[in-house]
Amino acid sequence: MDLNGSQMLIEALRKENVKVVFGYPGGAIMNVYDEVYKQNYFKHILTRHEQAAVHAADGYARASGNVGVAFVTSGPGFTNAVTGLATAYMDSTPMVVISGQVPISMIGTDAFQEIDAVGISRPCVKHNYLVKDVSELPRILKEAFYIARTGRPGPVHIDIPKDVTAQMGKFEYPDEIKMQTYKPTYKGNPRQIKKAIEAIALSKRPVLYIGGGAINSNAANEVREFAKITGIPAVETLMARGVLEHDNPLLLGMLGMHGCYSANMAMSEADLMIAFGPRFDDRVTGKLSEFAKHAKIIHIDIDPSSIGKIVDVEYPIVGDLKNVIEAMLPLAKEQIDESKYKPWRDLLNRYSEIHPLRYQDSDEVLKPQWVIERTGKLLGDKALITTDVGQHQMWSAQFYPFSHPRQFITSGGLGTMGFGLPAAMGVKKACPEKISINFTGDGSILMNIQELMTAVESKIPVVNIILNNQFLGMVRQWQTFFYDKRYSSTDLTMQPDFVKLVESFGGVGYRVHTKAEFDEALKSAIESNTIAMIDVHIDRLENVLPMVPSGGTLYNMMLEYKE
Protein backbone atom coordinates (compact mmCIF):
# COMPACT_ATOMS: atom_id res chain seq x y z
CA MET A 1 0.00 0.00 0.00
CA ASP A 2 1.08 3.60 -0.63
CA LEU A 3 1.78 5.70 2.48
CA ASN A 4 3.75 8.82 3.26
CA GLY A 5 6.85 8.58 5.43
CA SER A 6 5.04 9.60 8.63
CA GLN A 7 2.34 7.01 8.07
CA MET A 8 5.01 4.38 7.42
CA LEU A 9 6.59 5.15 10.78
CA ILE A 10 3.29 4.81 12.63
CA GLU A 11 2.47 1.56 10.83
CA ALA A 12 5.93 0.15 11.59
CA LEU A 13 5.44 0.86 15.31
CA ARG A 14 2.13 -1.01 15.17
CA LYS A 15 3.82 -4.00 13.53
CA GLU A 16 6.58 -3.91 16.17
CA ASN A 17 3.88 -3.98 18.87
CA VAL A 18 4.99 -0.68 20.41
CA LYS A 19 2.61 0.31 23.22
CA VAL A 20 4.14 3.57 24.46
CA VAL A 21 6.17 6.36 22.84
CA PHE A 22 7.75 9.24 24.74
CA GLY A 23 8.49 12.46 22.90
CA TYR A 24 8.44 16.19 22.31
CA PRO A 25 7.33 17.75 18.99
CA GLY A 26 8.94 20.44 16.88
CA GLY A 27 9.03 21.82 13.36
CA ALA A 28 11.04 19.06 11.65
CA ILE A 29 8.91 16.24 13.08
CA MET A 30 5.48 17.88 12.82
CA ASN A 31 4.34 15.60 9.99
CA VAL A 32 4.98 12.60 12.22
CA TYR A 33 3.06 14.18 15.11
CA ASP A 34 0.12 14.83 12.79
CA GLU A 35 -0.07 11.07 12.26
CA VAL A 36 0.40 10.44 15.98
CA TYR A 37 -2.76 12.52 16.49
CA LYS A 38 -4.73 10.33 14.07
CA GLN A 39 -3.65 6.89 15.30
CA ASN A 40 -4.82 4.78 18.26
CA TYR A 41 -2.18 2.01 18.22
CA PHE A 42 0.05 3.37 20.97
CA LYS A 43 0.01 5.89 23.81
CA HIS A 44 2.16 8.98 23.31
CA ILE A 45 3.54 10.56 26.50
CA LEU A 46 4.47 14.23 26.11
CA THR A 47 7.51 14.86 28.29
CA ARG A 48 8.70 18.37 29.08
CA HIS A 49 12.27 17.88 27.83
CA GLU A 50 13.82 15.67 25.16
CA GLN A 51 16.42 14.22 27.53
CA ALA A 52 13.57 13.04 29.73
CA ALA A 53 11.78 11.46 26.76
CA VAL A 54 14.80 9.25 26.04
CA HIS A 55 15.37 8.42 29.73
CA ALA A 56 11.69 7.46 30.05
CA ALA A 57 11.98 5.19 27.01
CA ASP A 58 15.12 3.76 28.62
CA GLY A 59 13.31 3.01 31.90
CA TYR A 60 10.44 1.45 29.97
CA ALA A 61 12.86 -0.81 28.07
CA ARG A 62 14.82 -1.90 31.13
CA ALA A 63 11.71 -2.74 33.14
CA SER A 64 9.85 -4.53 30.32
CA GLY A 65 12.68 -6.03 28.27
CA ASN A 66 11.06 -4.53 25.16
CA VAL A 67 12.43 -1.85 22.83
CA GLY A 68 11.82 1.69 24.13
CA VAL A 69 10.84 4.39 21.61
CA ALA A 70 11.23 8.17 21.69
CA PHE A 71 10.50 10.99 19.20
CA VAL A 72 12.42 14.30 19.15
CA THR A 73 12.76 17.14 16.68
CA SER A 74 15.89 18.45 14.95
CA GLY A 75 18.65 20.75 16.21
CA PRO A 76 18.36 21.45 19.94
CA GLY A 77 15.65 18.82 20.24
CA PHE A 78 18.15 16.20 19.18
CA THR A 79 21.13 17.58 21.11
CA ASN A 80 18.97 17.50 24.25
CA ALA A 81 18.39 13.80 23.58
CA VAL A 82 22.07 12.86 23.28
CA THR A 83 22.59 12.35 27.02
CA GLY A 84 19.74 9.83 26.98
CA LEU A 85 21.28 7.99 24.03
CA ALA A 86 24.69 7.85 25.69
CA THR A 87 23.14 6.60 28.94
CA ALA A 88 21.36 3.79 27.11
CA TYR A 89 24.44 2.93 25.06
CA MET A 90 26.68 2.54 28.09
CA ASP A 91 24.15 0.25 29.80
CA SER A 92 23.12 -1.74 26.67
CA THR A 93 19.45 -0.70 26.65
CA PRO A 94 17.38 -1.55 23.53
CA MET A 95 15.85 1.64 22.13
CA VAL A 96 14.88 3.27 18.85
CA VAL A 97 15.04 7.07 18.86
CA ILE A 98 13.50 8.94 15.91
CA SER A 99 14.63 12.50 15.25
CA GLY A 100 13.27 14.96 12.73
CA GLN A 101 15.71 16.67 10.38
CA VAL A 102 15.56 19.68 8.06
CA PRO A 103 14.58 18.88 4.44
CA ILE A 104 17.26 17.12 2.38
CA SER A 105 17.85 20.19 0.21
CA MET A 106 18.73 22.22 3.32
CA ILE A 107 21.13 19.75 4.93
CA GLY A 108 24.56 21.36 5.15
CA THR A 109 23.30 24.94 4.77
CA ASP A 110 23.14 25.80 8.50
CA ALA A 111 19.37 25.95 8.21
CA PHE A 112 17.15 26.82 11.17
CA GLN A 113 17.40 24.07 13.80
CA GLU A 114 19.83 22.02 11.70
CA ILE A 115 22.51 19.90 13.32
CA ASP A 116 24.51 16.89 12.12
CA ALA A 117 22.51 14.45 14.22
CA VAL A 118 24.00 11.25 12.78
CA GLY A 119 27.51 12.61 13.23
CA ILE A 120 26.82 13.53 16.84
CA SER A 121 25.08 10.25 17.71
CA ARG A 122 27.60 7.95 16.03
CA PRO A 123 29.86 7.46 19.10
CA CYS A 124 26.97 6.73 21.47
CA VAL A 125 24.57 4.45 19.58
CA LYS A 126 24.74 0.88 18.38
CA HIS A 127 23.83 2.03 14.86
CA ASN A 128 22.30 5.07 13.17
CA TYR A 129 20.64 6.09 9.89
CA LEU A 130 19.95 9.21 7.86
CA VAL A 131 16.93 8.42 5.67
CA LYS A 132 17.42 9.94 2.22
CA ASP A 133 14.46 8.42 0.39
CA VAL A 134 11.08 7.23 1.62
CA SER A 135 11.56 3.93 -0.22
CA GLU A 136 14.32 3.07 2.29
CA LEU A 137 12.21 3.78 5.36
CA PRO A 138 10.39 0.43 5.86
CA ARG A 139 13.66 -1.53 5.69
CA ILE A 140 15.46 0.94 7.97
CA LEU A 141 12.72 0.80 10.58
CA LYS A 142 12.73 -3.02 10.57
CA GLU A 143 16.54 -3.10 10.82
CA ALA A 144 16.54 -0.55 13.65
CA PHE A 145 14.28 -2.63 15.88
CA TYR A 146 16.16 -5.81 14.98
CA ILE A 147 19.56 -4.29 15.77
CA ALA A 148 18.31 -2.66 18.99
CA ARG A 149 16.99 -5.88 20.53
CA THR A 150 19.37 -8.55 19.22
CA GLY A 151 22.94 -9.42 20.18
CA ARG A 152 24.19 -6.97 22.79
CA PRO A 153 21.20 -4.62 23.00
CA GLY A 154 21.59 -0.90 22.46
CA PRO A 155 20.03 2.31 21.17
CA VAL A 156 19.53 2.88 17.43
CA HIS A 157 19.01 6.39 16.04
CA ILE A 158 17.03 7.21 12.87
CA ASP A 159 17.23 10.77 11.51
CA ILE A 160 14.36 11.54 9.09
CA PRO A 161 14.32 14.77 7.03
CA LYS A 162 10.99 16.59 7.02
CA ASP A 163 10.41 16.15 3.28
CA VAL A 164 10.91 12.39 3.62
CA THR A 165 8.16 12.26 6.25
CA ALA A 166 5.82 13.75 3.59
CA GLN A 167 6.96 11.69 0.58
CA MET A 168 4.65 8.96 -0.73
CA GLY A 169 5.94 5.46 -1.32
CA LYS A 170 5.08 1.78 -1.20
CA PHE A 171 5.02 0.38 2.31
CA GLU A 172 6.27 -3.18 2.32
CA TYR A 173 7.46 -4.04 5.83
CA PRO A 174 9.92 -6.95 5.86
CA ASP A 175 8.90 -10.06 7.82
CA GLU A 176 12.49 -10.74 8.79
CA ILE A 177 15.91 -9.17 8.48
CA LYS A 178 19.14 -10.71 7.25
CA MET A 179 22.21 -8.49 7.40
CA GLN A 180 25.52 -9.68 5.98
CA THR A 181 27.55 -7.53 8.35
CA TYR A 182 25.56 -8.18 11.51
CA LYS A 183 25.10 -11.77 12.67
CA PRO A 184 25.22 -12.17 16.47
CA THR A 185 26.43 -15.51 17.79
CA TYR A 186 23.87 -17.12 20.10
CA LYS A 187 25.25 -20.62 20.62
CA GLY A 188 28.50 -21.01 22.54
CA ASN A 189 31.31 -23.13 21.12
CA PRO A 190 30.85 -26.67 22.60
CA ARG A 191 34.62 -27.23 22.90
CA GLN A 192 35.07 -23.99 24.80
CA ILE A 193 32.15 -24.84 27.08
CA LYS A 194 33.67 -28.25 27.78
CA LYS A 195 37.04 -26.65 28.60
CA ALA A 196 35.34 -24.14 30.91
CA ILE A 197 33.56 -26.87 32.89
CA GLU A 198 36.82 -28.81 33.20
CA ALA A 199 38.54 -25.68 34.54
CA ILE A 200 35.77 -25.18 37.10
CA ALA A 201 36.02 -28.81 38.22
CA LEU A 202 39.77 -28.38 38.81
CA SER A 203 39.47 -25.09 40.69
CA LYS A 204 39.44 -24.71 44.47
CA ARG A 205 38.33 -21.08 44.85
CA PRO A 206 35.97 -20.20 41.97
CA VAL A 207 33.66 -17.19 41.98
CA LEU A 208 30.69 -16.27 39.77
CA TYR A 209 31.06 -12.69 38.51
CA ILE A 210 27.55 -11.71 37.38
CA GLY A 211 27.12 -8.69 35.10
CA GLY A 212 24.31 -6.85 33.37
CA GLY A 213 24.38 -9.32 30.48
CA ALA A 214 22.60 -11.80 32.76
CA ILE A 215 19.60 -9.47 32.82
CA ASN A 216 19.74 -8.53 29.13
CA SER A 217 19.71 -12.20 28.13
CA ASN A 218 16.93 -13.06 30.63
CA ALA A 219 19.28 -15.62 32.14
CA ALA A 220 18.53 -15.12 35.84
CA ASN A 221 16.89 -18.54 36.27
CA GLU A 222 19.84 -20.25 34.58
CA VAL A 223 22.36 -18.33 36.69
CA ARG A 224 20.48 -19.29 39.86
CA GLU A 225 20.39 -22.94 38.82
CA PHE A 226 24.10 -22.95 37.96
CA ALA A 227 24.99 -21.41 41.32
CA LYS A 228 22.78 -23.90 43.15
CA ILE A 229 24.15 -27.09 41.57
CA THR A 230 27.80 -25.98 41.70
CA GLY A 231 27.77 -24.24 45.10
CA ILE A 232 30.02 -21.51 43.74
CA PRO A 233 29.88 -18.16 45.63
CA ALA A 234 28.67 -15.22 43.55
CA VAL A 235 29.13 -11.47 43.29
CA GLU A 236 27.00 -9.01 41.32
CA THR A 237 27.84 -5.77 39.55
CA LEU A 238 25.68 -2.69 39.99
CA MET A 239 23.83 -3.58 36.77
CA ALA A 240 23.17 -7.16 37.88
CA ARG A 241 21.41 -6.51 41.20
CA GLY A 242 18.46 -8.88 41.54
CA VAL A 243 19.82 -11.69 39.37
CA LEU A 244 20.30 -13.67 42.58
CA GLU A 245 17.82 -13.18 45.41
CA HIS A 246 19.10 -10.95 48.22
CA ASP A 247 18.84 -13.84 50.70
CA ASN A 248 20.54 -16.42 48.48
CA PRO A 249 23.24 -17.98 50.70
CA LEU A 250 25.70 -17.99 47.80
CA LEU A 251 25.38 -14.25 47.11
CA LEU A 252 28.19 -12.24 48.69
CA GLY A 253 26.74 -8.94 47.47
CA MET A 254 27.85 -6.21 45.08
CA LEU A 255 31.53 -5.82 44.27
CA GLY A 256 33.63 -2.85 43.23
CA MET A 257 34.36 0.64 44.48
CA HIS A 258 31.50 0.49 46.99
CA GLY A 259 31.18 -3.27 47.09
CA CYS A 260 30.97 -5.59 50.08
CA TYR A 261 34.18 -6.63 51.80
CA SER A 262 33.49 -10.34 51.19
CA ALA A 263 32.67 -9.77 47.50
CA ASN A 264 35.84 -7.80 46.85
CA MET A 265 37.96 -10.29 48.79
CA ALA A 266 36.41 -13.18 46.85
CA MET A 267 37.56 -11.60 43.59
CA SER A 268 41.00 -10.92 45.05
CA GLU A 269 41.57 -14.47 46.35
CA ALA A 270 39.77 -16.54 43.69
CA ASP A 271 41.71 -18.97 41.50
CA LEU A 272 38.99 -18.99 38.81
CA MET A 273 36.50 -16.33 37.75
CA ILE A 274 33.38 -17.28 35.79
CA ALA A 275 32.23 -14.01 34.23
CA PHE A 276 28.55 -14.09 33.25
CA GLY A 277 28.11 -11.08 30.97
CA PRO A 278 30.01 -8.25 32.75
CA ARG A 279 32.21 -5.72 30.98
CA PHE A 280 34.99 -5.35 33.59
CA ASP A 281 34.20 -1.72 34.29
CA ASP A 282 36.91 0.30 36.04
CA ARG A 283 34.60 0.84 39.05
CA VAL A 284 34.68 -2.95 39.47
CA THR A 285 38.30 -3.78 38.66
CA GLY A 286 40.13 -0.98 40.45
CA LYS A 287 43.86 -1.22 39.73
CA LEU A 288 43.98 -3.61 36.77
CA SER A 289 47.40 -5.09 37.52
CA GLU A 290 46.06 -6.26 40.92
CA PHE A 291 42.57 -7.28 39.82
CA ALA A 292 41.91 -10.99 40.42
CA LYS A 293 45.59 -11.60 39.77
CA HIS A 294 45.46 -15.20 41.05
CA ALA A 295 42.48 -16.16 38.87
CA LYS A 296 42.09 -17.63 35.45
CA ILE A 297 39.06 -16.18 33.69
CA ILE A 298 36.10 -17.70 31.87
CA HIS A 299 34.25 -14.87 30.11
CA ILE A 300 30.87 -15.46 28.47
CA ASP A 301 29.46 -12.60 26.44
CA ILE A 302 27.39 -12.15 23.28
CA ASP A 303 29.61 -9.23 22.28
CA PRO A 304 32.97 -10.62 21.13
CA SER A 305 34.56 -7.16 21.35
CA SER A 306 33.97 -7.17 25.12
CA ILE A 307 35.98 -10.35 25.68
CA GLY A 308 39.64 -9.59 26.32
CA LYS A 309 39.04 -5.86 25.96
CA ILE A 310 40.08 -4.99 29.53
CA VAL A 311 41.61 -8.18 30.98
CA ASP A 312 43.21 -11.27 29.47
CA VAL A 313 40.84 -14.23 29.29
CA GLU A 314 41.89 -17.89 29.26
CA TYR A 315 38.46 -19.30 28.33
CA PRO A 316 36.49 -16.97 25.99
CA ILE A 317 32.97 -18.06 25.06
CA VAL A 318 30.99 -15.94 22.60
CA GLY A 319 27.24 -16.49 22.79
CA ASP A 320 23.98 -15.59 24.44
CA LEU A 321 24.45 -16.15 28.18
CA LYS A 322 21.14 -17.97 28.63
CA ASN A 323 21.98 -20.44 25.87
CA VAL A 324 25.54 -20.96 27.06
CA ILE A 325 24.56 -21.67 30.67
CA GLU A 326 21.85 -24.07 29.46
CA ALA A 327 24.60 -25.96 27.64
CA MET A 328 26.86 -25.84 30.72
CA LEU A 329 24.29 -27.15 33.23
CA PRO A 330 24.25 -30.86 32.30
CA LEU A 331 28.06 -30.94 32.19
CA ALA A 332 28.25 -29.14 35.53
CA LYS A 333 25.89 -31.67 37.14
CA GLU A 334 28.14 -34.52 35.96
CA GLN A 335 31.57 -33.08 36.73
CA ILE A 336 31.30 -30.57 39.60
CA ASP A 337 31.00 -31.56 43.26
CA GLU A 338 29.62 -28.59 45.19
CA SER A 339 30.91 -29.96 48.54
CA LYS A 340 34.45 -29.40 47.26
CA TYR A 341 34.03 -25.66 47.67
CA LYS A 342 32.76 -25.72 51.27
CA PRO A 343 36.07 -24.49 52.78
CA TRP A 344 36.08 -21.63 50.27
CA ARG A 345 32.46 -20.74 51.08
CA ASP A 346 33.20 -20.89 54.80
CA LEU A 347 36.11 -18.48 54.42
CA LEU A 348 34.01 -15.98 52.47
CA ASN A 349 31.13 -16.28 54.92
CA ARG A 350 33.61 -15.50 57.66
CA TYR A 351 34.63 -12.36 55.78
CA SER A 352 30.94 -11.40 55.62
CA GLU A 353 30.61 -11.88 59.37
CA ILE A 354 33.74 -9.87 60.18
CA HIS A 355 32.93 -6.93 57.88
CA PRO A 356 29.23 -6.86 56.95
CA LEU A 357 27.58 -3.86 55.35
CA ARG A 358 26.85 -1.69 58.35
CA TYR A 359 25.94 1.80 59.51
CA GLN A 360 25.46 3.49 62.85
CA ASP A 361 21.71 3.86 63.27
CA SER A 362 20.34 6.83 65.19
CA ASP A 363 17.05 8.05 66.62
CA GLU A 364 18.25 11.65 66.48
CA VAL A 365 18.91 11.95 62.76
CA LEU A 366 17.70 9.76 59.91
CA LYS A 367 20.32 7.60 58.27
CA PRO A 368 19.90 7.12 54.50
CA GLN A 369 20.66 3.41 54.79
CA TRP A 370 17.76 3.02 57.22
CA VAL A 371 15.39 4.78 54.82
CA ILE A 372 16.30 2.36 52.02
CA GLU A 373 16.19 -0.70 54.26
CA ARG A 374 12.82 0.39 55.64
CA THR A 375 11.40 0.92 52.17
CA GLY A 376 12.58 -2.56 51.26
CA LYS A 377 11.04 -4.07 54.37
CA LEU A 378 7.68 -2.37 53.70
CA LEU A 379 7.52 -2.91 49.94
CA GLY A 380 9.96 -5.70 49.01
CA ASP A 381 9.30 -7.06 45.53
CA LYS A 382 6.10 -5.03 45.15
CA ALA A 383 8.32 -2.09 44.14
CA LEU A 384 10.62 -1.41 41.21
CA ILE A 385 13.53 0.82 42.20
CA THR A 386 14.96 3.61 40.07
CA THR A 387 17.77 5.90 41.17
CA ASP A 388 19.62 8.96 40.09
CA VAL A 389 23.40 9.03 40.57
CA GLY A 390 25.43 9.64 43.69
CA GLN A 391 25.48 8.44 47.28
CA HIS A 392 21.80 7.47 47.26
CA GLN A 393 22.47 5.23 44.24
CA MET A 394 25.17 3.28 46.05
CA TRP A 395 23.15 3.01 49.27
CA SER A 396 20.21 1.70 47.22
CA ALA A 397 22.41 -0.93 45.57
CA GLN A 398 23.84 -1.94 48.94
CA PHE A 399 20.77 -1.98 51.19
CA TYR A 400 17.60 -2.64 49.17
CA PRO A 401 16.55 -6.34 49.26
CA PHE A 402 16.33 -7.08 45.54
CA SER A 403 14.63 -10.36 44.71
CA HIS A 404 14.30 -10.45 40.91
CA PRO A 405 15.94 -9.08 37.75
CA ARG A 406 14.77 -5.75 36.28
CA GLN A 407 13.88 -4.60 39.79
CA PHE A 408 16.79 -2.13 39.97
CA ILE A 409 17.08 0.47 37.21
CA THR A 410 19.95 2.91 37.36
CA SER A 411 22.47 4.71 35.16
CA GLY A 412 25.63 2.67 35.64
CA GLY A 413 28.11 3.36 32.86
CA LEU A 414 27.48 7.05 32.17
CA GLY A 415 26.37 7.98 35.70
CA THR A 416 23.61 10.36 34.59
CA MET A 417 22.13 12.68 37.19
CA GLY A 418 18.55 13.46 36.16
CA PHE A 419 17.93 9.88 35.00
CA GLY A 420 15.78 8.78 37.93
CA LEU A 421 12.46 10.62 37.63
CA PRO A 422 11.86 10.18 33.87
CA ALA A 423 13.14 6.58 34.00
CA ALA A 424 10.75 5.86 36.89
CA MET A 425 7.89 7.15 34.72
CA GLY A 426 8.91 4.73 31.98
CA VAL A 427 9.10 1.93 34.55
CA LYS A 428 5.56 2.66 35.73
CA LYS A 429 4.21 2.62 32.17
CA ALA A 430 5.94 -0.72 31.58
CA CYS A 431 4.76 -2.30 34.85
CA PRO A 432 1.64 -0.48 36.06
CA GLU A 433 0.95 -3.16 38.68
CA LYS A 434 4.21 -2.35 40.50
CA ILE A 435 5.01 0.58 42.80
CA SER A 436 7.57 2.83 41.11
CA ILE A 437 10.05 4.20 43.65
CA ASN A 438 12.76 6.69 42.69
CA PHE A 439 15.55 7.13 45.25
CA THR A 440 17.16 10.45 44.44
CA GLY A 441 19.26 13.24 45.90
CA ASP A 442 18.55 16.92 46.37
CA GLY A 443 21.05 17.60 43.57
CA SER A 444 19.87 15.00 41.06
CA ILE A 445 16.13 15.60 41.38
CA LEU A 446 16.40 19.18 40.12
CA MET A 447 18.03 18.14 36.84
CA ASN A 448 14.76 16.97 35.28
CA ILE A 449 12.31 18.46 37.76
CA GLN A 450 10.03 19.62 34.93
CA GLU A 451 8.90 16.00 34.48
CA LEU A 452 6.66 16.39 37.52
CA MET A 453 4.30 18.03 35.04
CA THR A 454 4.49 15.05 32.69
CA ALA A 455 3.68 12.69 35.55
CA VAL A 456 0.67 14.75 36.63
CA GLU A 457 -0.71 15.27 33.14
CA SER A 458 -0.25 11.65 32.07
CA LYS A 459 -1.32 10.26 35.45
CA ILE A 460 1.92 8.39 36.14
CA PRO A 461 2.29 7.83 39.90
CA VAL A 462 5.93 7.76 40.97
CA VAL A 463 7.13 8.08 44.57
CA ASN A 464 10.34 10.14 44.69
CA ILE A 465 12.25 9.64 47.93
CA ILE A 466 14.74 12.50 48.21
CA LEU A 467 17.66 11.64 50.51
CA ASN A 468 18.30 15.27 51.29
CA ASN A 469 21.71 16.05 52.80
CA GLN A 470 21.96 19.52 51.28
CA PHE A 471 25.13 18.50 49.45
CA LEU A 472 26.25 17.06 46.17
CA GLY A 473 26.89 14.12 48.42
CA MET A 474 29.29 11.90 46.51
CA VAL A 475 31.48 14.80 45.42
CA ARG A 476 31.41 16.10 49.00
CA GLN A 477 32.54 12.66 50.22
CA TRP A 478 35.54 12.72 47.90
CA GLN A 479 36.34 16.27 48.99
CA THR A 480 36.23 15.05 52.62
CA PHE A 481 38.51 12.07 51.99
CA PHE A 482 40.95 13.43 49.43
CA TYR A 483 40.70 17.26 49.27
CA ASP A 484 41.09 18.29 52.94
CA LYS A 485 37.39 19.19 53.20
CA ARG A 486 37.57 21.94 50.61
CA TYR A 487 33.88 21.80 49.72
CA SER A 488 34.14 23.56 46.39
CA SER A 489 30.67 24.10 44.84
CA THR A 490 29.03 21.17 46.62
CA ASP A 491 26.99 22.90 49.34
CA LEU A 492 23.29 22.85 48.42
CA THR A 493 21.80 24.47 51.52
CA MET A 494 20.15 26.95 49.18
CA GLN A 495 17.34 24.78 47.80
CA PRO A 496 13.62 24.98 47.04
CA ASP A 497 10.82 23.88 49.33
CA PHE A 498 10.31 20.48 47.69
CA VAL A 499 6.87 20.03 49.25
CA LYS A 500 5.54 23.30 47.83
CA LEU A 501 7.32 22.58 44.56
CA VAL A 502 5.60 19.26 43.88
CA GLU A 503 2.29 20.65 45.09
CA SER A 504 2.58 23.50 42.58
CA PHE A 505 2.70 20.90 39.81
CA GLY A 506 -0.37 19.12 41.19
CA GLY A 507 1.35 16.32 43.11
CA VAL A 508 1.73 15.61 46.81
CA GLY A 509 4.69 16.31 49.08
CA TYR A 510 5.92 15.29 52.51
CA ARG A 511 8.73 16.58 54.72
CA VAL A 512 10.27 13.93 56.94
CA HIS A 513 12.67 14.12 59.91
CA THR A 514 11.78 11.01 61.92
CA LYS A 515 11.24 7.28 61.33
CA ALA A 516 7.56 7.50 62.23
CA GLU A 517 7.07 10.39 59.80
CA PHE A 518 8.74 8.38 57.04
CA ASP A 519 6.48 5.36 57.49
CA GLU A 520 3.42 7.58 57.42
CA ALA A 521 4.63 9.54 54.39
CA LEU A 522 5.47 6.44 52.34
CA LYS A 523 2.07 4.89 53.02
CA SER A 524 0.26 8.13 52.17
CA ALA A 525 2.34 8.74 49.03
CA ILE A 526 1.53 5.30 47.62
CA GLU A 527 -2.17 5.65 48.44
CA SER A 528 -2.31 9.08 46.78
CA ASN A 529 -1.81 7.41 43.37
CA THR A 530 -0.17 10.51 41.94
CA ILE A 531 3.32 11.93 41.64
CA ALA A 532 4.79 12.28 45.13
CA MET A 533 7.95 13.65 46.72
CA ILE A 534 9.11 12.62 50.18
CA ASP A 535 11.77 15.09 51.29
CA VAL A 536 13.77 13.04 53.82
CA HIS A 537 16.28 15.07 55.81
CA ILE A 538 19.23 12.78 56.51
CA ASP A 539 22.60 12.97 58.23
CA ARG A 540 24.48 15.54 56.14
CA LEU A 541 27.90 13.95 56.50
CA GLU A 542 27.05 10.26 56.12
CA ASN A 543 29.52 8.48 53.81
CA VAL A 544 29.17 5.51 51.48
CA LEU A 545 31.37 2.71 52.80
CA PRO A 546 33.21 0.49 52.06
CA MET A 547 35.14 2.47 49.48
CA VAL A 548 38.02 1.60 47.19
CA PRO A 549 39.84 4.84 46.28
CA SER A 550 40.07 5.51 42.54
CA GLY A 551 42.87 3.42 41.07
CA GLY A 552 43.16 1.41 44.28
CA THR A 553 42.93 -2.34 44.79
CA LEU A 554 39.81 -4.28 45.73
CA TYR A 555 41.54 -5.87 48.71
CA ASN A 556 42.51 -2.49 50.18
CA MET A 557 39.14 -0.99 51.10
CA MET A 558 38.32 1.95 53.35
CA LEU A 559 35.93 0.32 55.84
CA GLU A 560 35.42 3.40 58.00
CA TYR A 561 36.20 7.10 58.02
CA LYS A 562 38.03 8.71 60.89
CA GLU A 563 38.83 12.38 61.31
Active site (catalytic) residues: 50, 112-113, 162, 474
Q: Distance of alpha carbon 102 from its chain centroid, rounded? A: 32
CA dist., res. 336 & res. 49, Å (int): 53
DSSP state of 67: P
CA dist., res. 452 & res. 184, Å (int): 40
CA dist., res. 128 & res. 131, Å (int): 10
3-state secondary structure of 306: helix
538: exposed, middle or buried (Cβ count in 10 Å: 0-12, 13-18, 19+): buried
- DSSP per residue, 152-205: S--EEEEEEEHHHHH-EEE----SS--BTTB----SPPHHHHHHHHHHHHH-SS
Angle at 229 between CA 226 and CA 233, to 5 degrees: 70
Say which residues have a Cβ less than 8 Å from residue 93's Cβ, sequence separation at least 6: 58, 61, 62, 68, 87, 153, 154, 155
Distance set, CA 112 to CA 26, 106, 157 (Å): 12, 9, 21
Give the neighbor-by-neighbor strand order of the sheet with 272-276. Answer: 251-254, 234-236, 206-210, 272-276, 296-301, 315-318
The CB density around residue 504, as the number of other CB atoms within 10 Å, is: 13
Which is nearest to 555 in space by CA: 238, 261, 206? 261
CA dist., res. 434 & res. 259, Å (int): 28
The CB density around residue 166, as the number of other CB atoms within 10 Å, is: 15
Sign of CA dihedral 239, 122, 158, 176: negative
CA dist., res. 545 & res. 259, Å (int): 8
Cis peptide before 546 (omega within 30 of 0): yes
